Amino acid sequence: MTHAAKAVLHGGPEDLERRIVPITPPGTELKIPHKGGYEHFKVTGRHEDTEEGHLPVFEWWERTEVAE
């Protein structure tokens, strides 16, 4: 069985729906849709043990708004 790569999110809005998210494709940045914009996270080089395994940690670095 193939498992998608996942990451742990640190920082950003406290009300993000999930803190463990898929990385598709695995890379150095993640863009998570949230409340009319995107929360941007960058890979840190750190890892964390979670219920879903030993995962890379991505740290929040900025938010962008979606133009209406």
Q: Could you tell me the pTM of the whole model? A: 0.86
Model confidence at 4: pLDDT above 70: no
Would you list the domain boundaries of the chain? 1-30+39-56
Q: In angstroms, rounded to a whole number, what is the distance separating the alpha carbons of residues 31 and 49?
A: 22
What pLDDT, in 10s, does the model give residues 10-64? 999 999 999 999 997 777 899 999 999 999 999 999 999 999 999 999 999 999 9
Contacts of 30 (CB under 8 A, 6+ apart): 7, 9, 21, 23, 40, 41, 42, 58
